[in-house]
Each structure stands twice: as C-alpha cells, then as structure tokens.
C-alpha cells in the first residue's frame, strides 16, 4: 500500500460558521476528522500549507504548494483546494511536475463546507484518495465523482460543475 500525502490549502472544504460574527471563516482543517469518519486505513499524512479561499491565492501561495509537492517523499499526493482557482493551481503543478517526475497529484475540493450537513466533501475525499492510488503520474482534478487531466477541465461557474474541455 502506497503512502499518500495530503496537503491542505483551505477552500470551501474547511470553511466554518463563526457564530459570533455570522461570517464563514477558516479555523483548523477537518481532514483528520473526515479520514476518521471514512475509517480510512491508507498510510496518510496530512499537512496544512495554508487556510485560504482560493480566490485569494497568490502566485507565492502557488509556488509554495508546488515546492511542497516536489519535495514530498510520497509519490501519491492529494491537495484540498478551493474550487474557483483549482485549475490554475493544477496548471502550476503540472508545469513543475511532468509525468516523468513520477508523482500522481490529485486536487479536490467541495461545493459545500464539510461542517454543513449536506457537504459533498466526504464523497470527494474518498474519490480523490482513490484516484491518487490508481492514476498514472500526472496532475489531475477529482470532482463530481470524476477525474480530469489538469488541462482538460474547467469549472462551469453557472452550474458549479466541473466539465471536460
């Protein structure tokens, strides 16, 4: 069984409701709780790189994600990410990690925060971890139960669904 590294960057996945301000915000990641709920027995290590909305992600943030994926000892990597700029980060990763680098990197996210009862997060996490184990080296997105090569997908802003180009 291959080890998997999960890099957390925030996104809707990890948004919480602040009951004092009434705003959505980031605190700690829900990833460990989600892995526990899924009774996940993969050899996984979770590292939080940042906790931000992907619309606020800068080039420097992306460079950090790329460096962390390049230097990770694991060949199988999942990145949790806001959906709005997931494709941009995937492109940055693909530029630095061609298939010859031998790493399978899968980005995933959620349309509804995990802390909400109706989140797609647990489904997407199960999906992304599975694709990370079975897809050949390369950079991919996993959303809506599907996988997409990084350069063959876009988010449809009207429907919220990821579609092939």
Instruction: List the one residue from 51, 101, 122, 137 that touches a second copy (CB under 8 A).
Output: 122
Hey, what are 148's tokens?
């997409």
E strand or H helix that includes residue 8: strand 4-10
Instruction: List the one residue from 105, 131, 139, 150 that touches a second copy (CB under 8 A).
Output: 131
In a 3-state reduction of DSSP, which class is residue 84?
A: coil
- Closest-CA residue to 66 (of 105, 124, 29): 105
Strand partners for 149: 140
User: Which residue, 8 or 66, has its beta carbon nearer to a second copy?
Assistant: 8
Residue 100, interface with a second copy (CB under 8 A)? no
- 12 flagged as catalytic: yes
Half-sphere CA count of 69, side-chain side, radius 13 A: 34
Q: Residue 26 burial (CB < 10 Å; 0-12/13-18/19+)?
A: middle
Instruction: List the one residue from 51, 75, 123, 137 that touches a second copy (CB under 8 A).
Output: 123
Site for a second copy in 30-49 (CB under 8 A): 34-35, 37-42, 44
Residues near a second copy, by CB under 8 A? 1, 12, 17, 19-20, 22, 24, 34-35, 37-42, 44, 53, 84, 111-113, 115-120, 122-131, 133-135, 142-147, 157-158, 160-162, 164
Residues identified as active-site: 12
């Amino acid at each position: 069984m291959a080890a998997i590294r999960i890099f957390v960057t925030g996104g809707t996945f990890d948004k919480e409701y602040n009951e004092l301000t009434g705003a959505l915000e980031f605190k700690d990641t829900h990833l460990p709780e989600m892995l526990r709920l899924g009774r996940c027995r993969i050899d996984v290590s979770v590292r939080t790189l940042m906790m931000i909305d992907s619309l606020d992600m800068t080039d420097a943030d992306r460079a950090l994600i790329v460096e962390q994926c390049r230097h990770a000892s694991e060949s199988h990597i999942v990145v949790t990410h806001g959906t709005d700029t997931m494709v941009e980060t995937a492109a940055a990763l693909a530029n630095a990690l061609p298939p010859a680098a031998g790493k399978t990197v899968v980005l995933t996210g959620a349309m509804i925060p995990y802390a909400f009862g109706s989140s797609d997060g647990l489904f997407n996490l199960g999906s992304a971890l599975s694709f990370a184990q079975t897809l050949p080296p390369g950079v991919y997105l996993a959303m809506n139960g599907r996988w997409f090569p990084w350069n063959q997908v876009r988010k449809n802003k009207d429907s919220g669904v990821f579609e092939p180009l």
